[in-house]
Structure 1
Amino acid sequence: MVPVQEENREGVTMRIHRFVEKRPVLRTLPTQDPAVLHYVTEKTDIHQLEIILQNGATLVEPGALQYMFGQLQAEVIRHENKGFLARAVSSAGTGESAYATKYTGVGTIWCEPSRKHFILATMDADVDALILDDKAFYACSAGISLTSHRHNSVAGVLSGSGLMQPKLAGRGVFAVESPVPVEEVQTVELSHGQELVADGDIMLMYSAALTVEIGPLVRGLRNAIRSGEGLVYRFRGNGTVWLTPTAKIS
C-alpha cells in the first residue's frame, strides 16, 4: 500500500493510499486453438482513504467506514436543517444522502477500498465554495458544510448532473470521488469576458461564484437534434472548473 496524496487542516489529516489488486480473468488468447480459454492476471488500482483526527472532526458519507481505532465518537447528523420532505427532495436531486456520519476525537478512520479515484483539496473560506457533480462528495472536515445548490433551469434535470447539486463551503480539507485519476483532471481558469461550454457528463466540480446556464448547445429543436449534442453547461465569470474528459473511456 502506497500513500499517494495527503492534506491536513485543523486537526484533520486525509491520506489516499493505493494498492494493486491482482485477479485472474478468463481471456481468449491467440493460440493454435482459439476455443481454449486461459486465465490471465490483470492488475487493478485500488484506492483507500485514511482519516486521522487529532481532536478534530470529520463528516463521511454513510456506509464508507471500514474500521476505526483510537478515542473516537460517531454520530449521524443532517447535512441541512430542513424538514424530512425537503431533505428527501434535496437528496434525490443531488444523489447524495441527506445524512452523514460525524466522527470526533483522537484516532484513525479507514474507509472502504474503492476502484474509483479520490482527490483531496482544501478550502479557506466561503469564497472558495464549490459545486460538485452528483455523488462526488465523500468526506470533509467539520468546518466545511455540505448543502444543496439548485439550478434555476429545469433543463438541469436532463443534463446528467441533476437539478440540484452538492455544494461545499467553509474552511478545511475535503475528499471527492472522481472517475479518473487526478493527473487526468483538467483545470480551466475563467475570467470575466470568457465562456466555457462543456458536456455535463465530464464536469467534476466548479467554483460557486461562476454564473452557470444549462441548456442546448444551439437554439431551436431541429438544430439541437442535428448538432448531436445533449444539454451543456455554460460557465461565465471568475472561477475554476474541473473537468474529466477521459471519464467516458476510463
Structure 2
Amino acid sequence: MGRSGRDVRQARGSRAATLEPVSYRIQLSEESSGGLKAELYAICKVTSQLVQGAPRATPSFREIYTDTGQRQIKFTLRDDSVVLEPGILSYAHGRLKFEVIQQQAGQGGGFLGRAMRSAGTGESAYGTRVTGTGEVWTEPTHKHFVFANMESGDSMLVDDKAYYAAQGSLRLSTHQHARVQGAVSGNGLMQPRLDGRGLLIIESPVSVHEIEMLDVPAGDTVTVDGDMMLMYTATMNPRLGPLVRGLRNSLRSGEGFVYTLDGPGQVFLTPTHVAPGSLA
C-alpha cells in the first residue's frame, strides 16, 4: 500500500508525542479505457507522531497508516461518460453533465439498477450518467471491487447486486430469464446485461483474489447456488430452477433453486462469501 509501510519504530530513549489521527486515501489500483480512468483507494487513518531524537536534534514527524477497510473509487473523465448505480455519488467537479436514465421493468435496451432488486414488480430502475471532463468520487464502502475491460463482441450478465458502474460506451440492458421459478430463487427474473467495449466496475462481497473463474467448454454444465454467482458470459444459457425435480426430491436434497449454465463460456464465482450473521 505504498506509504502505509512507513511504520514508526520509536528508537530507545527517544521522546514522542502523538497527534489526533486524520483520514487519508491511498491508491491501490487503476484501470483506463478511452477517456475514462477508474482508481481504487483505501481509506486509512493517519496518526502523525512527533519524534524527538538526540538532544538538540530537530524534531521530525512520522506517520502511521492504519487501513479502515473502507474503499472509494475516483473516476477521471476526459470527454467521456460513466453510468453509476443510484446513490453512490459522493461529489464531483469539472465540466460535467448529469442525467438520470430510467428504464421500465421488462423493457429491453435500458438499465437495471439496485432499485430493481425485486424483479417483476413494475418499478422503474434508475441510473446516473455523468458526461464531460472532470472528476467523480463515489461514497466510501466496505465492499470490494473488480475492474474489467470488456472488448468488442463481449457480453456479460451481472448479478443485480454486483453492478456498480460502466463506461458510457457499453450498452446496458436487462436480461429476462425464461423460467418463472427464478422469481422465488432470490435472484429475480432479470439481470443487468452489458455488451460492447469499455470499462466495467463490479462490486464484490469478497476480494478479487478470492473470485474463482471457471472456463466452461461446450458440452459441460455448471450448477451453482445463486448467492455465489457474480457474473457470467452471455454465451451461456442460464436456467433457474430446483436442483432436482419434484417437491419430495427437492426437500430431500436440502437445496433451493440454483443456476444451471451450459458451456461454452466463463463463470465468475465467490465461493468464500459467507452469509450475513455467520460467525466465519
* Same fold by TM-score greater than 0.5: yes
Q: 1:62-211 maps to which residues of 2 (within 5 A)?
A: 62-79=86-103, 91=116, 92-93=118-119, 98-125=125-152, 127-211=153-237
Overall identity of the aligned pairs, in %: 41
> Are the aligned partners of 1:80 and 1:146 in contact in 2 as well (CA < 8 Å)?
no
Say whether residues 1:57 and 2:81 are aligned partners. Answer: yes
Residue 78 of structure 1: how far off its partner (Å): 2.9
Distance 1:118 1:207 in 2: 18
Q: Which runs of 5+ in 1 are unaligned?
A: 23-41
Residue 53 of structure 1: how far off its partner (Å): 0.3
Distance 2:145 2:102 in 1: 23
Say whether residues 1:47 and 2:71 are aligned partners. Answer: yes
State the secondary structure of the residue aligned to 1:214.
strand
Distance 2:215 2:240 in 1: 19
State the secondary structure of the residue aligned to 1:211.
coil
Q: CA RMSD in A?
A: 2.7
Distance 2:105 2:120 in 1: 16
2:62 aligned partner: none
> Are the aligned partners of 2:111 and 2:174 in contact in 1 as well (CA < 8 Å)?
no
> Are the aligned partners of 2:42 and 2:67 in contact in 1 as well (CA < 8 Å)?
no
Which residue identity does 2:125 align to in structure 1? A
Give the counterpart of 2:40 among 3, 16, 41.
16
State the secondary structure of the residue aligned to 2:252.
helix
Residue 104 of structure 1: how far off its partner (Å): 1.4
Residue 160 of structure 1: how far off its partner (Å): 2.1
1:93–1:112 Cα change, 3 Å = same
More moved, 229-238 vs 69-78: 69-78
Q: 1:210-221 maps to which residues of 2 (within 5 A)?
A: 210-221=236-247
Distance 2:212 2:42 in 1: 21
Which residue identity does 1:14 align to in structure 2? A
Q: Which has the higher helix share?
A: 1
For the pair shown, the structure with the greater C-alpha radius of gyration is: 2
Residue 99 of structure 1: how far off its partner (Å): 2.0
Distance 1:247 1:118 in 2: 14
1:239–1:45 Cα change, 3 Å = same
State the secondary structure of the residue aligned to 1:98.
strand
1:43–1:52 Cα change, 3 Å = closer
After the TM superposition, list the runs of 4 or more consecutive aligned residues in structure 1 that deviate by more than 3 angstroms: 79-83, 94-97
Alpha-carbon displacement from aligned partner over 1:149-173 (angstroms, at most 9, x marks no partner): 1111111112221111111112110
State the secondary structure of the residue aligned to 1:104.
strand
User: What is the number of equivalent residue pairs in this alignment?
Assistant: 227
Which residue identity does 1:141 align to in structure 2? Q
TM-score normalised to structure 1 length:
0.82
> Are the aligned partners of 1:159 and 1:232 in contact in 2 as well (CA < 8 Å)?
yes
Residue 79 of structure 1: how far off its partner (Å): 4.8
Distance 2:39 2:252 in 1: 47
> Are the aligned partners of 2:94 and 2:135 in contact in 1 as well (CA < 8 Å)?
yes
Larger RCO, structures 1/2 (Cα 8 Å, 6+ apart): 1
Distance 1:94 1:117 in 2: 29
Distance 1:227 1:212 in 2: 21
Residue 238 of structure 1: how far off its partner (Å): 1.2
